[in-house]
Amino acid sequence: MRRQPERGSSRWLRALALSAGLVQVAACSGATTDARAVTSGADRPLPADAEVRRDDARGTIRLLRAPNLSASLESAAEFRALQSANRFADVAMAFLDAHRGLFGLANPSAELSVRSVTTDDLALKHVRLQQRYEGLPVWAAELNVHLDRDNHVYLAQGRYIRTPLGLATTPRLPAEQARQRAAAAVSGAAPDCPGCRSELLVFVAADERPRLAHRVLVEVAVTNAWAVTVDADSGAILEKITTVVHR
């Protein structure tokens, strides 16, 4: 695969939104739309032949496919200009903005960041997007939007979460205490967990409810290394998985 240089522009997306009526404009610059105001009825229509597969547990879209999912957006000159200019990431983001209700995202432009844009040997383009919430990464949550040779969106797929409502982003449990709890869960780890690395993120637990969490990497030895996810509110261990690769 060959990587396509990223040439995104918030100005283009805003112009597209204003002219085509794709998104609601927030009252203050940089503000995001309230998640409670999102309704699927405000979305642009999908083609009649669109295939939709849902993740019922999360209330999200697992797969959306049709020969041209972006057909209803192509009446807007600004959207066609993005296609003509090969602005693949902007095309993908504008598409998701236009279907924010369907995808359950309050403000895709603010909640998704581009991880990569690639073009394969068949001239198909693949835009990989990482989900974030209030600037924090959502663990293992991605959306991928695929464009055909003519830059029509033909497939969107991934595993992510709906925009959380009222999820606090300030942890009650400090990172230092989270590292100590993680160390206590790993045999042989020093109590103060020296050298342990941690990251604050949004984690989806087994009950599918998003939680603020610390993800701590505890490395005791080459054959004893773990990623421990600690609830940033209660301090409970939400997940413990080995990072050792057995060959």
CATH number at residue 186: 3.10.450
Number of domains in the chain: 2
pLDDT one-digit tens code per residue, 158-215: 999 999 988 999 999 999 999 999 999 999 999 988 889 999 999 998 788 899 999 9
- 212 and 152 within one domain: no
Range of 202's domain?
175-242
Token output for 171: 């942890």
| In a shared domain, residues 20 and 113 | yes
pLDDT digits (tens, 9 = 90+) for 211-247: 999 999 999 988 889 999 999 999 999 999 999 876 5
Look up the pTM and report it: 0.79
Same domain, 141 and 226: no
Q: pLDDT tens, 44-76?
A: 999 999 999 999 999 999 999 999 999 999 999
The C-alpha angle 139, 140, 146, rounded to 5 degrees, equals: 135
Provide φ and ψ at 128, rounded to 5°: -105, 125
Report the candidate in 2, 6, 1, 37 with the shortest Cα–Cα distance to residue 129.
6
**DSSP code of residue 245:** P
Question: Is 167 inside any structural domain?
Answer: no
